[in-house]
Structure 1
Amino acid sequence: MQDVDMKALWNEYDRKLETALQLNRQQAYTITRMKVYSLLQSVKPVKILAVITGILWVLLVDSIIVRTWAFASPFFLVSAIVQVLLTKLAIGIYVYQLVLIHQAQLNAPVLTTQRRLAALQTATLWVPKLLFLQMPVWTTFYWNSGMLLHGNLVLWIIQGLTTLAFTLAGVWLFLHITPENRHKKWFRLLFAGKEWDGVREAMDLLSETEGA
């Protein structure tokens, strides 16, 4: 009887221990979800401000294009149109990010939240990729026919090298701003801000929870 009682007590202890461990894991998941939700909510104001600022900028540039269409330099018009189109794409991506943040719920499964965070991370990187792609047009909007016809060779060389450098830099950044490069020094310098850090920290928290 003593052996039977001891086995019963041991089994009861194992059951209680497993129940306690399961409860602790559930509490850890709940706390993690709360932290992730808090991090995502903390980056929302930055994205909302970016959308508002972007819309105001687009309205300004569009109005300038319309008002100067008849007499402005073709270089100015093309540069402004390229810049404003890329800005509109960036605004659309910001709106998509806000939708993803809105869909993040405290009671959502971890895998579902991870997928949304991965999409949010990718979308967060697409905004600077598009904005850096604008770099060349900031060196061409002031070109005009007089500059091309009457400019000297030194001016052409300086302008050409400047535009080429901005183009190469913009394309390089567009191609290399990826999650795989997030640990590199230049990437950390470019993205040392709350908007990126909040998403990254949220993903790290979920990864730690999944591996626990």
Structure 2
Amino acid sequence: MSAVRVRQHVNPLSQKYQTPIAPPDWATLYQTTTNPLHLDIGCARGQFLLEMAQAKPDWNFLGVEIREPLVVRANEVRDELGLKNLHYLFCNINVSLSTLLGSQMLGGATIQFPDPWFKKRHQKRRVAQPELIQTLADRIQPEGFLFIQSDVLDVAEQMRAAINAHPAFQPSPDSTPWMPHNPLPVATEREIATLLEGKPVYRSWFTRLSNESK
């Protein structure tokens, strides 16, 4: 996938990103609408989902990203490969998730290496806010999954704490303290680069319970 030059950081609290997007016509996005849907939040250039869509043709994949040029290019590459189980959307997921999905349920969701927003006054810009976790709990079907990972311990701990605080999610036993290996068949570009540098990746896997009592 060729490089697209865009800003590395986008402030999700900016006014231009506060308008929720309407739900798409799902029948026009995917060839087989009955496939389970995997949502990747903050998909960047979309390389992870590009490989996942080919590795798991019996799933549909949706990547959302706040940097529009990356979404445009990712959809171009998808079209070049003729993939019918993959789509990318430009939106601020913290504003749009509930309206975007409508009644559409998810088989699972991933949040991988989100922008860390290190400064304390900026941490309200982080993606794993309680409202987002609540919407994911509402939209991930029972026995579905939520997988998170980061190379920044504070970010991983914040995401894990937000998810653990919701009664709908049960952490995998091998997520304590952190999952030693990625259970998915594809690694993100950031994950590969981090591991090649000999640095740790902090991962947790959660299952959506059929009821909300842990």
Fold agreement, TM-score > 0.5: no
Larger Rg: 1
Larger relative contact order (Cα-Cα within 8 Å, sequence gap ≥ 6)? 1
TM normalised by structure 2 equals 0.23
TM normalised by structure 1 equals 0.23
Higher helix share: 1
